[in-house]
């Protein structure tokens, strides 16, 4: 199983919006590296849901429920989407500041490639972030 992080601006699509929807199509990705990450996602992979711009924090955990397929919002076969489903809202959010201050997370793609909307998360990083969310 792989682990991922997806970013969304909460004023456009928040964790609460995602929960209300139940299953969310992760669309709008127009960066090749982020697209490649979407293509690598497999059913049941776990995904951190990160609020970008406002909050700048991981707020919950989702899972992949449908692997990549053509993005129906655009007539261009280069772009894909995946379907995600919420698993749990964290008791405590994990802020970008916390992650930057934790040297164990210094290699986290969110920090190294901050503009990328879909990034992989190493198993060790995933466990550390889960620990922070459940402190």
Per-residue pLDDT tens digits for 63-115: 999 999 999 999 999 999 999 999 999 999 999 999 999 999 999 999 998 88
CATH number (domain holding residue 34): 3.10.590.10
Query: Residue 123: what pLDDT?
Result: 98
Q: What is the torsional sign of CA 127, 57, 110, 43?
A: positive
| Residue 39 domain boundaries | 3-133
Query: Residue 74: what pLDDT?
Result: 96
Question: Which candidate, 17, 38, 42, 3, places its Cα nearest to that of 127?
Answer: 3
Query: Residue 112: what pLDDT?
Result: 92
The count of domains in the chain is: 1
Query: Residue 95: what pLDDT?
Result: 97
Query: Residue 114: what pLDDT?
Result: 87
- How far is it, in rounded angstroms, from Cα 98 to Cα 104? 11
**pLDDT at residue 36 tops 90:** yes
- How far is it, in rounded angstroms, from Cα 64 to Cα 3? 10
**Residue 50 and residue 64 in contact, taking contact as beta carbons nearer than 8 Å:** no
Please report how many Cα atoms fall inside a 13 Å half-sphere around the Cα of residue 75, on the Cβ side. 0
Give, as one character, the DSSP assignment of residue 11. Answer: T
Going by pLDDT thresholds of 50, 70 and 90, the confidence category of residue 33 is very high
């Amino acid at each position: 199983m792989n682990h991922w992080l997806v970013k969304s601006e909460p004023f456009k699509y928040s964790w609460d919006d995602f929960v209300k929807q139940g299953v969310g199509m992760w669309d709008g990705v127009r960066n090749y590296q982020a697209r490649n990450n979407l293509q690598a996602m497999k059913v049941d992979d776990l995904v951190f849901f990160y609020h970008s711009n406002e909050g700048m924090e991981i707020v919950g955990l989702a899972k992949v429920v449908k692997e990549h397929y053509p993005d129906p919002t655009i007539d261009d076969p280069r772009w894909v989407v995946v379907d995600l489903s919420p698993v749990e809202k964290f008791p405590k959010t994990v802020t970008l500041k916390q992650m930057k201050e934790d040297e164990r997370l210094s290699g986290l793609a969110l920090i190294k490639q901050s503009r990328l909307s879909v990034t992989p998360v190493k198993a060790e990083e995933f466990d550390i972030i889960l620990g922070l969310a459940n402190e």
